[in-house]
Amino acid sequence: MKAVGVIVEYNPFHNGHKFHLDQTKKQSGAEVVIAVMSGNFLQRGEPALVSKWARTEMALNGGADIVFELPYFFATQNADIFATGAVSLLAAVNCHSLCFGSEAGDIHTFRETLDFLNEKNDEFQEKIKEFSSQGVSYPKALSLSFEALSPGKHLLDLSKPNNILGLQYVAAIQQQKFAIQPLTITRKNANYHDQHFASSSIASATSIRKALFSVNGSIEGIHSYLPQTTYDLLHNYKKEYRQFHTWEDYWDLLKYKLLLSSPEELRGIHEVEEGLENRLQHAALKANSFQDFMEQIKTKRYTWTRLQRVSLHILMNVKKAEMTPKKQPEYLRLLGMSAKGREYLRKEKKNLHLPLISKLSSNKQLLELDLRAARLYALGLKSKNEQERLLSLDFKQHPIQL
């Protein structure tokens, strides 16, 4: 059986994701779609709207056949580490190809851009240092450095987020010499950071979440942008846990942690650098909400995403030593599968390149960071009973089967 991989967050799964999965099957000719999905906390350093278990159900109902969790170590880091971890998992389960959405929509452009950057690497790195020293963020420095090399119109626009991430996927495949064929599909109607609806049926996850949390927001208001199964799962999640997760649910915990930690302790946390601990503690004293806190600490040098990740690592108490670079994950955490996915795993079980984990009983030490994330995620709920019920899923929930 031929398998194609997708790297996703599904926050939440919407009609654009359904389009991507349908086109992925057509372009790749694969019989099985394997999704590597971030867990309860995402690459932008924010909590997922609903748990990884609910999002796994969305994925399986939407057309994925197997869902593996991308470990916290890779899921909450910058684009190149995120891509390395996710692509490594797809290689470990013998995916024939990887299909991602992009603004470019042409895989040859990605290859040509990567060749160009490899050829100009020394000059490119010098430009990045030059722009970074001027106080701009790393993503902005990367985009400006690329423009400064005069790449020409036939190469990628690296100011676009999905182009940047896609380039990291192609680079990870090339660097690690994986036998994976990269494919790309043009994003339909909505851009990644779109804040408002641009179509009657396709919208970005960002605009869907913004509408959901607006003053008059409701699940009914986003119905037309979601498959019915996603709509039902969101409705059921809200009924069971009485809320969706946002950073504001964790603000009191973060403020407590910031104000009771010493500057030395904060400096030991992953991604806290250059005296940032002082800025964080000063803002925590004055801020009345997470939004207020972020607006106070945001600078040209530190992006919103970077600062959210820093805040998350502080809450998780993730030390620098725990995040020393790894070439690939150490395990495959299975979250769910369809009947076709189950058949694929049965046939490929002896050929997997990493241990397959479907139960926690003997693997708690290996999954320590992910379990810490599960505990933190549950703490965002208001009631102790709801917290315990959600957390218990990580210990009792078998892989979801469709």
Which residues participate in the annotated binding site for ATP? 7-20, 101, 162, 187
CA 35/CA 303 separation, integer angstroms = 28
Kindly give the residue spans of alpha helices, DSSP state H, lying in 93-227. 107-119, 121-132, 138-148, 161-175, 205-212
Residue partners of 131: CB distance under 8 A and separation at least 6? 140, 141, 144, 145
Among candidate residues 42, 56, 68, 78, the one with its CA nearest the CA of residue 377: 42
Cα–Cα distances (Å) from 76 to 101, 135, 310, 323, in that order, read 20, 23, 10, 11
Reported for 357-360, long-range contacts at CB under 8 A and 24+ positions apart, including other chains, are: 357/331, 357/332, 357/333, 358/334, 358/398, 358/399, 359/398, 360/394, 360/395
Instruction: Kindly tell me the burial class for residue 178, based on how many C-beta atoms sit within 10 Å of its own C-beta (0-12, 13-18, 19 or more).
Output: middle
**C-beta separation of 171 from 114 below 8 A:** yes
**C-beta separation of 379 from 387 below 8 A:** yes
Specify the residue for token string 């820093």: 310
Q: How would DSSP label each residue in 226-261? A: S-HHHHHHHHHHHHHHSS---GGGGHHHHHHHHHHS
The values of phi and psi at residue 114, to 5°, are -65, -40
**C-beta separation of 206 from 117 below 8 A:** no
**C-beta separation of 305 from 328 below 8 A:** no
Specify the residue for token string 């013998």: 94
Which residues define the annotated binding site? 7-20, 101, 162, 187
